Amino acid sequence: MTIQANRHRQDRHFEEGQWVYLKLQPYRQQSVHHRESQKLAKRYYGPFRILKRIG
């Protein structure tokens, strides 16, 4: 089962200075933006610039 699940996954590498979007789960992430209808909330926030690599 893990072999089939890993077929769709991709390694993503980001560099400092790139612009990226942050994916948030609207039902769990209440602190960013509160809407009456969580089902219609944005899924991607940004773009944000990568300042520093951690790890």
Residue with tokens 């909330």: 41
Q: What is the mean pLDDT of residues 33-51?
A: 80
Q: Which residues pair with 44 in a beta bridge?
A: 23
Residue with tokens 């773009």: 47
Q: 9, 45, 8, 54: which is closest to 25 by C-alpha?
A: 45
Tens digits of residue pLDDT in 7-39: 988 888 999 999 999 887 766 656 666 667 777
Q: Check if the beta carbon of residue 31 is closer than 8 Å to that of residue 22.
A: no
